[in-house]
Structure 1
Amino acid sequence: MLRCPLCRSASHTRTSRYISEQTKESYYQCQNIECSCSFKSVESVDKIISQPAPKPVDKPMTVPAAMMKRNTLGRYGSGFQL
C-alpha cells in the first residue's frame, strides 16, 4: 500500500509487473471515492543487507580401506572355519 500523492489516503495495487530481476512497476488506485486518483510507482532493490550462508559443497564419499576388503562367508570364503 502506498498513500495517494494527492489526498494522502490509502491506495491499493491494481496490477504490477517486473521490469527486471530487481525492479517492479506497480499501478495503484486511491481508495478515497472523492479522489480516485490512479498512479504508478517503481520499486527496486537498493542494497542487500544480509544473505544466507553458502551451502557446503558435497565431497564424494571416501570408503576406508578396511571396509573395502571383501568378506565372503560360506563354504569357500575366508569366513569359513573348521
Structure 2
Amino acid sequence: MFICPICGAHARTRTSRRLSELTIRQYHQCQNLECSETFTTLNSVEKLVTKRGRREPLPPDFIPKDAFPVSHYGRDQLNLSL
C-alpha cells in the first residue's frame, strides 16, 4: 500500500501494466475523498536475495493421502444440493 504524495492518506492500487519482465507500473488513487489524487509508481526487481538451483516439479503424490482426515473425501462430505 502506498501513501498519497499530496495529502499523506492511504492510496489504493487501481490497476497495473507490465513494462518488462521485471518492471510494472502501478496506478494508485488516494482514498481521501477531498484529495482523490491519482499517481503512478514503478515497481521492479532490484536483486535476488536467495540463489537456488533449478527445481524439479513436485511429484503428483507429493501430499500423502493420509494428510487429511477421511471426512474430507467421499460420501462423508457435506452435501449442499437441495
User: Per the shorter chain, which TM-score range?
Assistant: 0.5 to 0.7
Q: 2:23 matched to 1:23?
A: yes
The alpha carbon displacement at 1:37 in A equals 0.4
User: Structure 2 CA distance, aligned partners of 1:12 and 1:34?
Assistant: 15
Give the TM-score normalised by the residue count of structure 1: 0.63
Give the TM-score normalised by the residue count of structure 2: 0.63
Runs of 4+ in 1 over 4 A off after TM superposition: none
* Per-residue deviation, residues 25-76 of structure 1 (Å, max 9, x unmatched): 00000000011000001000001000333347xxxxxxxxxxxxxxxxxxxx
User: Structure 2 CA distance, aligned partners of 1:16 and 1:51?
Assistant: 28
Unaligned runs of 5+ in 2: 57-82
CA RMSD of aligned residues (A): 1.4
Q: Which amino acid in 1 is paired with 2:18?
A: Y
Q: Percent identity?
A: 43
Greater C-alpha radius of gyration: 1
Alignment of structure 1 residues 4-43 onto 2, 5 Å: 4-43=4-43
Unaligned runs of 5+ in 1: 57-82
Q: Count residues in correspondence.
A: 56
User: Structure 2 CA distance, aligned partners of 1:38 and 1:44?
Assistant: 20
- Greater helix fraction, Structure 1 or Structure 2: 2
